[in-house]
Amino acid sequence: MKKIALKKYTDFIVKETTDLLNIDSPTGYTEEAAAWVKKEFEKLGFKATLTTKGGVVVDFGGKNKKDGLLLEAHVDTLGGMVATIKSNGRLQLTNLGGMNPNNAETENVRVVTKFDGIYEGTFQLNNASIHVNGDYNDTKREWDTCEVVLDEDVKSKEDTEKLGISVGDIVCFEPNVRVTKSGYIKSRFLDDKLSVGILLGLGKYIKDNKITPKRALYAHITVFEEVGHGGCGSVPEGCTEAISVDMGCVGEGLTCTEKQVSICAKDSGGPYSYEIVKGLVAAAKESGADYAVDIYPHYGSDVEATLRSGNDLKHGLIGAGVYASHGYERSHRDGAESTLRLLIAYAL
């Protein structure tokens, strides 16, 4: 079977992903990103609806309404929240999702107050001057050994409170988006904004080619995946299958690379539907998508939350390969294209 040309759709995916990455959306603070996603799908001509929970459900159309396929991706990311305003005016954080202080150290942040605007700062080790702190190298990086140093003239808790900063304010970490000439996409939070970009690319492909999917096809862009309940609700009537489009893991012991689409056979929540895994592999082979099948030992997905909430569905998980998950992540446009190629073959 001749491989279809997808370069213009991959270009579109990279652009949309880059734009979305630059919208802060740590879990619990996703309204702006969800509104952007809704608007982008509507620009392509699809009906997109905001759920009460804050996610976006998209209807791609389709013929068989009693055998629908739901594709799930999430727009929420890792982040932080103000836990304590310290006596020196600096902020101690608690994590949102799996944000790890080891790879967040020295990152620029934005503190989003409830009523008084946004302030910039840097996430640093307490007493971060190495010429002063003799224990710098030996200090374990934990949330109570690190702090946000605000880029404001504050010297006390009272100074910080006067700015309007308070416990429970959201802290967004700079994504640092880069796309290299060689095609690599580097950024925090490719998990899972790259997949949202891929689903937008799928939508553009459907519209450009005037395709009516063979079965009812939907997308749910969820907003609480990083804390485990993103995919629990909003399954359209008639769906019999759900597939998470999330990051594919890249690391020691796995075969996937950033240039491939990963098909997950099993993760920490158990095996995915064997029938779906076989169907995905067959579609990858038929379409010429560069793929790998792997098992993820420390991973959970939206679609597992969908099943645990009581939905009677078959389930699967795919995604473009991403290295350094939950850190400064890296993928490649070829991985995004392979994921799109697989989705076209399997879903349309």
Catalytically active residues are 225
Contact by Cβ (8 Å): 196, 20:
yes
Q: What is the dihedral of CA 254, 260, 264, 269, to 10 degrees?
A: 70
Nearest to 193 by CA among 243, 258, 230, 247: 247
Cα angle: 222, vertex 48, 281; to 5 degrees: 60
Q: Among all chains, which residue has been given the structure tokens 């995915």?
A: 272
**Of 156, 203, 171, nearest to 59 (Cα)?**
203
Residue whose C-alpha is closest to residue 172's, from 72, 311, 33: 33
